[in-house]
């Protein structure tokens, strides 16, 4: 969503439903090609609004963004639209910027650590909630709350909880005799703080998706393994984990895409600071474009485009992974 906010795409559903009907036999597919011409017209009439929309509100902003990154924009030429073409100059500026290395590292660390913990905690909870006990379904539903809250709500709540002087976290640490930590104001802790908040937001998604993956594993397998004397850990290791691999791959890949573009949480909690200690590509791009009095749209767009390229590569990987799974 958003954040991790946004939902996974729906392609599998469509493929799932469509796969049974059409993809199974190539003959069915050629048959649909030979639909009457009037139906082709009708189909495109129904698709026309969304196609125009796609061109106007996805393709054009993207194009504008590429254009921004290739010209030397100032505030004046941004309004007038006559900025000189400078080729890859903006990208060179970005690469040479001393902030580039740290931003890259923070992006990688943020994404990797968030993914690992969201998945691990999500999986543990999914296995736990997959057992039948009273209130299991209700509690699982409650776990969705952090994921549904507006990011600004979660981020500001965490900001106050992590406040150095009056935050409840430091107060709890104090009770255990631990010195207060400057969660948001110390450069060595700020990245950790935003990672904690983001893990909290991402766990529900992993829990729900992995839980529904678990439910498709036949119970008889577990019963057979238990009869053979396999303990809980061995059953998890040799049944749950391997059979969950397709779902895990998709969950992690979607998580990767959404974590890479996390912006709201970091910006609201730390603004990427202090001293750039929690700056990722997403917040850096925003700060270049909108965060200063003198906007640097060109370099901002250049940083953003690096993110787009990463997202596109991941998108292709996603498609490959999925195709492989359907082939198998």
Partner 1 sequence: MTSLMTAPSTHRRRRGRAGWWKTATGLLLTTVMLFPVYWMLNVSFTRDQDMRKSPPDWFPVHGTLDGYRAVLDQQLPYLATSLVIGLGTVVLTVALSAPAGYALAKLRPRGGGVIGFLFLVAQMIPGIIMAMGFYAIYLSLGLLQSVPGLIVADSTLAVPFAVLIFTAFMSGIPGELLQAAKTDGAGALRTFWYVVLPMSRNAVVTVSLFAFLWSWSDFVFASTLANGGAHEPITLGIYQYIGNNNQEWNAIMATAVVASLPATVILVLAQRYVAAGVTAGAVKD
* Residue 280 three-state SS: coil
Residues 247-286 that bind partner 1 (CB under 8 A): 247, 250-251, 254, 257, 260-261, 263-264, 268, 282, 285-286
> In whole angstroms, how close is the CB of 63 to partner 1 at the nearest point?
8
246 forms part of the interface with partner 1 (CB under 8 A): yes
188 or 219, CB closer to partner 1?
A: 219
Assess 120 for contact with partner 1 (CB under 8 A).
no
Q: How far is the CB of 84 from partner 1 (least distance, A)?
A: 16
Q: Tokens representing 289?
A: 């474009």
Q: CB neighbours of 167 closer than 8 A, spacing ≥ 6?
A: 160, 161, 183
For the bound state, the minimum distance from the C-beta of residue 240 to partner 1, rounded and expressed in Å, comes to: 14
Does residue 58 have a cis bond before it (omega within 30 degrees)? no
Binding window for partner 1 (CB under 8 A); candidates: 88-96, 109-117, 122-130, 185-193: 122-130
What's the gap between Cα 211 and its chain centre? 19
3-state secondary structure of 69: helix
The 10 Å CB-count burial string (b at 16+, else e) for 75-101 is eeeeeeeebeebeebbbebbeeeebbe
Site for partner 1 in 195-234 (CB under 8 A): 200, 203, 205, 208-209, 212-213, 216, 223, 226-227, 231-232
154 near partner 1, judged by CB under 8 A: yes
Question: Which one of 85-93, 104-112, 186-194, 293-301 is the stretch in contact with partner 1 (CB under 8 A)?
Answer: 293-301
Binding flag, residue 50, partner 1 (CB under 8 A): yes
Torsion, CA 22, CA 24, CA 27, CA 32, rounded to 10? 10
Least gap, CB of 292 to partner 1 (angstroms): 14
Q: Which is nearer to partner 1, 105 or 149 (CB)?
A: 149
Size of the site for partner 1 (CB under 8 A): 123
| Contacting residue, 30, 82, 166, 220, with partner 1 by CB under 8 A | 166
Smallest gap, in angstroms, from Cβ of residue 138 to partner 1? 9
Q: From the CB of residue 55, how many other CB atoms can be counted at a distance below 10 Å?
A: 11
Tell me how far apart the alpha carbons of residues 103 and 281 are, in angstroms, rounded to a whole number.
Answer: 6
Name the helix (H) or strand (E) containing 209.
helix 190-214
Shortest spacing between CB 28 and partner 1, in angstroms: 11
Q: How many CB atoms lie within 10 A of CB 203?
A: 22
- Contacts of residue 169, defined as CB under 8 A and 6 or more positions apart, other chains included, come to 161, 162, 181, 183
Site for partner 1 in 25-44 (CB under 8 A): 32-33, 35, 39-40, 42-44
- Taking the complex as a whole, the smallest distance from the CB of residue 237 to partner 1 amounts, in Å, to 15
- Report helix, strand or coil for 231: coil
């Amino acid at each position: 969503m958003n954040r991790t906010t946004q939902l996974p795409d729906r392609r599998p559903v469509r493929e799932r439903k469509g796969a049974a009907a059409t993809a199974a036999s190539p003959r069915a597919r050629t048959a649909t090609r030979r639909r009457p011409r009037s139906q082709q017209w009708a189909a495109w009439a129904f698709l026309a609004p969304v196609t125009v929309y796609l061109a106007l509100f996805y393709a054009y902003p993207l194009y504008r963004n590429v254009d921004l990154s290739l010209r030397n924009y100032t505030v004046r030429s941004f309004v007038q639209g006559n900025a000189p073409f400078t080729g890859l100059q903006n990208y060179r500026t970005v690469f040479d910027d001393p902030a580039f290395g740290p931003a890259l590292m923070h992006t990688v660390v943020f994404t990797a650590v968030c993914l690992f913990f969201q998945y691990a905690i999500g999986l543990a909870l999914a296995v736990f909630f997959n057992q039948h006990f009273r209130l299991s379904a209700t509690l699982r539903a409650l776990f969705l709350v952090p994921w549904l809250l507006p990011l600004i709500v979660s981020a500001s709540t965490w900001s106050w909880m992590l406040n150095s002087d009056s935050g409840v976290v430091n107060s709890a640490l104090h009770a255990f005799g631990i010195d207060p930590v400057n969660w948001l104001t110390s450069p060595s802790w700020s990245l950790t703080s935003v990672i904690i908040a983001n893990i909290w937001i991402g766990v529900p998604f992993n829990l729900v998706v992995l839980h529904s993956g678990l439910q498709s594993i036949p119970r008889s397998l577990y019963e057979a393994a238990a009869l053979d004397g396999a303990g809980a850990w061995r059953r998890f290791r040799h049944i749950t984990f391997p059979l969950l691999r397709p779902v895990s791959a998709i969950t992690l890949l979607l998580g990767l895409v959404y974590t890479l573009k996390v912006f709201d949480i970091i910006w609201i909690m730390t603004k990427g600071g202090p001293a750039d200690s929690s700056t990722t590509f997403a917040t850096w791009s925003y700060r270049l474009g909108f965060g200063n009095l003198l906007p640097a749209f060109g370099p901002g767009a250049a940083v953003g485009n690096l993110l787009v390229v990463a997202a596109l590569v991941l998108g292709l990987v996603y498609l490959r992974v999925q195709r492989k799974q359907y082939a198998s």
